[in-house]
Amino acid sequence: MKLSLLTAICLAITASIAANCQVATPSVGYVRYANGDVRPIYGLPGNYIVGDSVLTSAEAVSFSGAGGWVSKPGTLALMDSKLTSVVTSEVRESAALFHIDGSIETAVAWLPESHVLLHWNGKSLSSTPVSLIGEGDTATSVRKLDANTASFLVSKPGGSVASYRISLLTGELKSSVPMAAACKSTWDDSSRIFCFSDQRLSVLSAASGDILQELALPVEGSLTIEEASARCLHLSAKAPGENWLLHLDDKDLQFYQLPGPKISPSPTDGANTNSAK
Amino acid sequence: MKALALTALFCSCLGAQNLAFYLDPSGGASPVSALTSLPAAYGFPDTPVGSVSSSVIRVVNTGPASVVVDAVYVGAEAGSAYRTPNFTLTGSTLGATIAPGAFKLMTFNFTPSTTGITFGYLQASVAGVSIPMTTAAGNGTAPQITLSCSSSGIVQCTGATLQPNSANSLTFPNTLTTGTTQVPFTLTNSSASAINPQTLVSLTVPTNNPNSPFSLSSLPSTLAAGSSLTFNVTFAPSTANTYQTNLLVGNATYPLMGSGSSSVLGDISSLVITYVDSTGVRLTAQAATPISLGQSVVGASGSNSFTFSITNPQTTISAVSVAALSVSGTGFAISQAPSLPFSVAPGTSTTFTVTFNATATGTFSGLLTVGTRVFALTGQGINSPVPNPSFSIDVQPLVSQKQAHLSVNFPTATTVSAIGTLTMKFAPTVANVSDDPAVVFTATNGRQLQIDVANGATVGKYSGQTALTFQTGTTAGTLTFTLTFPNKAPYSQSFTITPAQVQVTSMNAVRQDPNLVITMTGYDNTYSLGQLGFLFYDTSGKAMTANPLNVDAASAFKQLFFTNNQAGGAFSLRASFPVTGKVADIGSVAFTLTNSAGTTSQTPAFQ
């Protein structure tokens, strides 16, 4: 059995490795800068190259690497990995929440003023009214768990946080779990909850609520948190030029400063012109 | 006709009556109400022979019409126009028209030529009528510090003590622009204590023109009591003009005058050499006064540069040929000069540039030669008020794929506020690689920052930040930071990023039946990655082959690194292995990545 398997592997690898070994420029994701431009980011953690603008006038974005949400004035678009619009919806809300874990089937959006959850059902955007998030409650993150379930992290008026599971079919509450944390913003990556307070980030275990790591935020004050990719968060301060990336797969999480778009190109800032000989 | 003459006389007398005289120690600053009227009898303080005591007189027109004061003078006797040498007047003493309510200032000097009491009769002449102003008395005491000169070319230079503050200048003989006239002066210290001639004797220099055809020879710092010394005043006019200056000995003033002459036919003496200084003012070069090219910060880029013109006046008959044009002296240079010999036609000019670039601190001297005429050059080498900076980086040694922080430090507090430019250059050591686009300051996504240094600060800042974040990229090479301030030598410091083994920043091994898929990101700062090795293990940890499966991916990496490179040595790799058996039986893979710096290995388990 082992021999058979080994032979199979060897033969398969020998025959196909050249065709199946692909190298490329590493992509970090897409970020939205303060001026509304959306730009691709290449490179590695702490070593970023900011690409040319691919979208403009964006008010909020969320990208996974396989797709993404882009909110522009009056519209919300779900896009594929090539940033081609899959579906567009007329939405007039300024504080919508987005999440996308991978393919566009994982895309979900919460429209707090309309109390509506939007998600891609494979053919169209499906709208689910949700009435249980009461006045004074603030949904700080939303995530699609499966085709029928979404989760919310909801900040309560007293500062506590609760995790809700909602039926995407009916909008009804499936479960509610209180959490021992006070967060202004949150991010949920299935195993961890990223809890942003005024000056620090607490990484909590989604299962136990235990604090796994704490980090000082790079700047005090209000931060906007958006998904650059499924494994990278983009934090931006209101002051132009202050952007950071948090790579969720880092063993030791840290904030890396993200360069802004070039301010003043100089002769030495040109593209690489390496050549092979 | 007779009536007209009477009217004129009457008016003149009225004008004279409308003049008032005051002692004005304020030099014209105080209102009349604050002044004391000039008394009919005025006494000067005791004054040593050869010295001077002075009082400023304000002549005010208190009438409704202008008054023309023909002259103010000091007579040896009352009503006499015979002038005494013991008293002088300087200032507006002749032909002064004073409007109603206006005034003129003049300085009344007591300059005793002998000891004892002497009198002087200060008078004003208005329309031929002498008006007494005051009778002055002064007591000449034993001489203290006196000046004399000996020259057959100057009337007053008889060897006798010179009377200071005289209305009559010591007039030097006419001097050719290619020549000089030198007059020896003797300074005598008859006081009881030593004096410092260097601080006592000087020539007045107009603030708007430092160049004078008059110059002083060097003076000692001490002249003992009862001693004398001789120094020279040299007159070396560079143009055919009349020049005036004052030789100052303490508070005694000796007016000097001289005229230059030149050939009207056309020779080297006809030429006028001018230059435009750093403020844009055109000045005439004088052989007697060094031309200062200003201060040059040692090591600073650029140099002080003056544009000179050689002009042949329109009045010259012939063109002038110049056989020599050169500059000598350390730090001085000439450029944009015409080829030798050259000719300057009447009414035309030719130009050249003289630069000064200090190589060290201190005073530098040079010479500018134009034909047979020589002009002294001088310049100062100074250090910048901004101390020499240094850089520190929080990542040492510097490696690839880092966000490091650069600090700009000064060993001492700066004494000025300054704005500098910090630049970063990256020189890859990888052959055929010219740059790495990730090497930037994150604040600007560029390689240049403006650094502010506050007065008294010991650190430089960009936008209030002292730690300047930059990315090191993913290419081996040398990072050079250069900080440049105006008028200061640039400071540079280089940091080397050495070639390193391939670094894997993330990896993932998954079973995607019927495939095994390994993905990773990382960088190869040598751009030489090519050999990959994969050794699979079963779930019990036993190697499934005796040797790793080697894959030559050099071509793929070469394509990535050297064709339209977007991210330096950074790469993502996806290797897919089709499996015909049960992929679940394969537990992990040990892969190796080999570049010119060595081999990196990782052993991820399949998920």
B491 lies in which domain range?
Answer: 390-497
Same domain, B133 and B6: yes
Looking at this predicted complex, what is its ipTM?
A: 0.87
Among A231, A253, A263, A272, pick the best mutation site for testing chain B contact (most B Cβ within 10 A).
Answer: A272
- Chain B residue with CA closest to A249: the answer is B506
CATH number at residue B89: 2.60.40.10
The four Cα atoms B415, B420, B424, B425 give a dihedral, to 10 degrees, of -110
Most trustworthy range by pLDDT among B54-68, B290-304, B325-339, B483-497 = B325-339
Total residues found in chain B within this entry: 607
pLDDT above 90: percentage of residues in chain B: 66
Tell which A residues from 216 to 245 touch B, by Cβ distance under 8 Å: 241
Same domain, B191 and B91: no
Q: Name residue, tokens 């083994």.
A: B501
Q: What is the pLDDT of residue B71?
A: 84
pLDDT digits 0-9 by tens, B446-486: 999 999 999 999 999 998 999 999 999 999 999 999 999 98
User: How far is Cα B485 from Cα B491, in angstroms, rounded to an integer?
Assistant: 9
Same domain, B471 and B551: no
Q: Are strands B228-235 and B242-249 parallel, antiparallel or unpaired?
A: unpaired
Q: What is the pLDDT of residue A237?
A: 86
Q: Flag if A17 and B575 touch (Cβ within 8 Å).
A: yes
Which of B438, B557, B576 is facing A23, going by the closest CB pair? B557
CA B352 from chain centre, in angstroms, equals 21
Tell which A residues from 24 to 83 touch B, by Cβ distance under 8 Å: 24-27, 42-51
pLDDT above 70: percentage of residues in chain A: 87
Same domain, B279 and B253: no
Whether residue A3 lies within 8 A of chain B, CB to CB, comes out as: no
pLDDT digits 0-9 by tens, B274-322: 999 878 889 999 998 899 998 888 877 667 899 999 999 999 999 999 9
B99 conformational bin, left if phi > 0, alpha if psi -120 to 50, beta if neither? beta
Same domain, B82 and B154: no
Q: Name residue, tokens 């506590």.
A: A160
Residue B190 lies in a domain: yes
Residue B58 lies in a domain: yes
Categorize the per-residue pLDDT at A1 as very low, low, confident or very high, splitting at 50, 70 and 90: very low
How does the average pLDDT of chain B come out, rounded?
90
Q: Which of B261, B293, B313 is the last residue of a domain?
A: B261
Residue A266 has pLDDT above 70, yes or no: no
Q: What is the pLDDT of residue A208?
A: 83
Residue A13 has pLDDT above 70, yes or no: no
Same domain, B405 and B354: no
Residue B214 has pLDDT above 80, yes or no: yes
Quick count: other Cβ atoms within 10 Å of Cβ B480? Answer: 14
CATH number at residue B581: 2.60.40
Same domain, B42 and B117: yes
**Of A157, A227, A238, nearest in space to A186 by CA:** A227
Same domain, B236 and B281: no
Report the pLDDT averaged over residues B410-421. Answer: 91
Q: What is the pLDDT of residue B10?
A: 36
Among A13, A252, A263, pick the best mutation site for testing chain B contact (most B Cβ within 10 A).
Answer: A13
User: How far is Cα B120 from Cα B74, in angstroms, rounded to an integer?
Assistant: 6
User: How far is Cα A132 from Cα A156, in angstroms, rounded to an integer?
Assistant: 12
Q: Residue B287 in contact with residue B375, Cβ under 8 Å?
A: yes
Sequence-distant (6+) residues with CB within 8 A of B103 are B28, B32, B58, B59, B60, B61
Q: Which of B382, B399, B427 is the last residue of a domain?
A: B382
Residue B451 lies in a domain: yes
Q: Which of B242, B261, B280 is the last residue of a domain?
A: B261
Residue B436 lies in a domain: yes
Residue B548 lies in a domain: yes
Q: Flag if B471 and A259 touch (Cβ within 8 Å).
A: yes
Q: Flag if A276 and B536 touch (Cβ within 8 Å).
A: no
Residue B48 lies in a domain: yes
pLDDT digits 0-9 by tens, A149-207: 999 999 888 778 888 999 999 999 998 888 877 788 888 888 898 998 878 899 988 88
Q: Flag if A44 and B536 touch (Cβ within 8 Å).
A: no
Residue A7 has pLDDT above 80, yes or no: no
Same domain, B149 and B238: yes
Sequence-distant (6+) residues with CB within 8 A of A217 are A196, A198, A199, A200, A201, A223, A235, A255
Residue B607 lies in a domain: no
Q: Flag if B447 and A277 touch (Cβ within 8 Å).
A: no
pLDDT digits 0-9 by tens, B136-184: 999 988 878 999 999 999 999 999 999 888 888 999 999 999 999 999 9
Same domain, B525 and B554: yes
Total residues found in chain A within this entry: 277
Q: Flag if A48 and B471 touch (Cβ within 8 Å).
A: yes
User: How far is Cα A219 from Cα B360, in angstroms, rounded to an integer?
Assistant: 47
Which of B538, B575, B586 is facing A21, going by the closest CB pair? B575
Same domain, B164 and B254: yes
Categorize the per-residue pLDDT at A240 as very low, low, confident or very high, splitting at 50, 70 and 90: low
Q: What is the pLDDT of residue B301?
A: 65
The pTM score is 0.66
Same domain, B120 and B162: no
Domain count, chain B: 5
- Chain A residue with CA closest to B448: the answer is A266
Q: Residue B61 in contact with residue B101, Cβ under 8 Å?
A: yes
Report the pLDDT averaged over residues B320-344. Answer: 95
Q: Flag if B445 and A43 touch (Cβ within 8 Å).
A: no
Q: Flag if B566 and A49 touch (Cβ within 8 Å).
A: yes
Residue B208 has pLDDT above 80, yes or no: no
User: Prior bond to B184 cis, omega within 30?
Assistant: no
Contacts of A2 in chain B (CB under 8 A): 538, 544, 585
Contacts of A17 in chain B (CB under 8 A): 549, 551, 575, 577
Whether residue A134 lies within 8 A of chain B, CB to CB, comes out as: no
**Of B93, B112, B76, B79, nearest in space to B168 by CA:** B93
